[in-house]
Amino acid sequence: MNEKILLVSYRDLRHPEMGGAEIIIHEVYRRLHAAGHEVTFLTGRFPGGAEHDSIDGMEILRTGNLYNFNFAAGSYYRKHLRRRGYTVLVEDLNKLPFYGPAFQRDVPVLVNIPHLFGTTVFSQAAFPLALYVWLQEQFVPAVYRESEFQVLSDSTRDDLRGRGVAAERIHVIRSGIDHGYYRPPADGHALLPKPVLIYLGRLKKYKCIEHPIRVLSRLRERVPGAEYWIVGEGDYRTDLERIAREQGCAAAVRFFGFKDGAEKLELLQKSRVLLYTSPKEGWGLSVIEANATGLPCVASNSPGLRESVRDGETGFLIPHGDLAALHDRLLSLLVDDALWWRLSAAGLVWAARFNWDTMAEETLALIRRVAARGRK
């Protein structure tokens, strides 16, 4: 039996600030749609985004905005979608909960959670906003007490269990990547890449993208050609540019904006180390993508990242915020060619374990479990 799926998420693939979480959702559900399941996305509007759209044959409905979509989604559903007969409502709880079990009781809910912020939100956002996000998260175990949860990592699973969610309702399904796309350069890195450090993702304060900027000048004392490439868009760019000027390394920090497709792959293939210095991630899709192109990663020893980076094998984990450790690990990968080759080769083997088709199959099995409960 084919399922009729409504997926509620803040962003779709055309949103100007879409990132790894949106890519994961899209890759899985476009495969389910291609297999004959009906998939509708209900997402937030953005400037230039049409209210009705279609991506890869899937219907895209947009309403509300960044600030009110968690409330607008329920209102839109009740007014326009309630009678469509969905068999599963999938909530992508990537910012704030939508409270699917509260705004409707007819359709069983599967909650997709990359990660919850917890107390880390207080160090990343202004107090009123941080408190609001933290308070909203406190209601998750109670509101979704009858729902199933899909997570990307053991870290998020353990976080939910610690909040009181029953272990048997939490399902870890690892992310995939496109191995036909993410691959080393044609020459297989016959020559080592130039000393380029790269970040890929949204430019947000909570990502702590500025940490590598703060060690770059010192790195350049030993490796004069070292650069830091920042690839992505977001409201933290102006601050990053200011920090680069203050640190005296603005000429060595390059901002590329959002890149996708062949341009993104080319930047990865020209780089030497991926950087991910955030305090918490759901998994680390960019880490696996980089490994598949031959790049080791240096990342914070944070939830999610400590699972996507195999410390000392495919990259290095450092204590979050430890700039001295960050400098030392980066320097080792910039000057020790044998070390770089060893980690690069291990990263290719590690990345080969993950693919989208497997993730889609496991997700469909979970969706059918949730839908079957709704048919009883």
CA-closest candidate to residue 10, choices 30, 25, 32? 25
- Domains of the chain (ranges; CATH) run 4-176+355-375 (3.40.50.2000), 196-351 (3.40.50.2000)
- The CA–CA distances, whole Å, from 141 to 102, 118, 144, 242, 311 equal 13, 13, 6, 41, 33
> How far apart are the C-alpha atoms of 36 and 33, rounded to whole Å?
5
pLDDT of residue 376: 60
- Tokens 């996000």 belong to 133
pLDDT of residue 375: 64
pLDDT of residue 19: 85
pLDDT of residue 118: 85
pLDDT of residue 222: 97
pLDDT of residue 280: 87
What pairs with residue 276 in β-bridges? Answer: 299
Q: Say which DSSP state 311 is in.
A: B
pLDDT of residue 123: 74
> How far apart are the C-alpha atoms of 81 and 295, rounded to whole Å?
45
CA-closest candidate to residue 347, choices 272, 281, 278? 272
pLDDT of residue 117: 86
Task: Identify the segments of the chain with pLDDT beneath 70.
Answer: 375-376
**Would strands 58-63 and 52-55 be described as parallel, antiparallel, or unpaired?**
antiparallel
pLDDT of residue 125: 77
Beta strands in the chain (DSSP E): 4-9, 38-44, 52-55, 58-63, 88-92, 109-113, 148-151, 170-172, 196-200, 227-231, 253-257, 273-276, 297-300, 315-318
- The CA–CA distances, whole Å, from 106 to 92, 373, 374 equal 19, 11, 8
- The contacts of residue 358 (CB under 8 Å, 6+ apart) are 176
For 337, phi then psi, to 5°, come to -65, -40
What pairs with residue 274 in β-bridges? Answer: 198, 297
